[in-house]
Amino acid sequence: MSNSPTRPTPNPHIPEHLPADVKWGFTCHGLNQLRHHCHWIAVGRGFTQAFLDRHWPGLKLGDAMALAKQAGVWKRDRQHFTNLAVAKRVKEFHILHDGSTRVVKFTNAELNATATKPS
């Protein structure tokens, strides 16, 4: 056993490096988890708000979903109970301090690299 400090693992829900104008940032994984927590059982039992408070303190589910929809983050997908999926090119979603939003998209090279990776 070593006494050296271990580097904290990055939070997969939030981008590692966010510009100063960002209040709340989401990775694709974070967006998928947000969508997952839209279920009425999770909402009714308080799991959803606890999840939001842990990763995006002060954010409400309805606000996050509405802003993401308005920004074009979601596409129709009948495979999920919400009928939503993260659009293919969305890499990150940012909600800025002034209430506006920003979508960071994957480059063609990034999309091609993930498509050609062996499983």
Closest CA to 101 of 26, 48, 33: 26
Predicted local distance difference test score (pLDDT) of residue 9: 67
Predicted local distance difference test score (pLDDT) of residue 10: 79
Put simply, whether the predicted model's pTM sits higher than 0.85 gets the answer no
Predicted local distance difference test score (pLDDT) of residue 1: 52
**What average pLDDT does the chain have?**
90
Q: Which residue has the higher pLDDT, 100 or 8?
A: 100
Q: Contact at 8 Å (CB) between 52 and 30?
A: no
Pairing of strands 74-76, 84-86: antiparallel
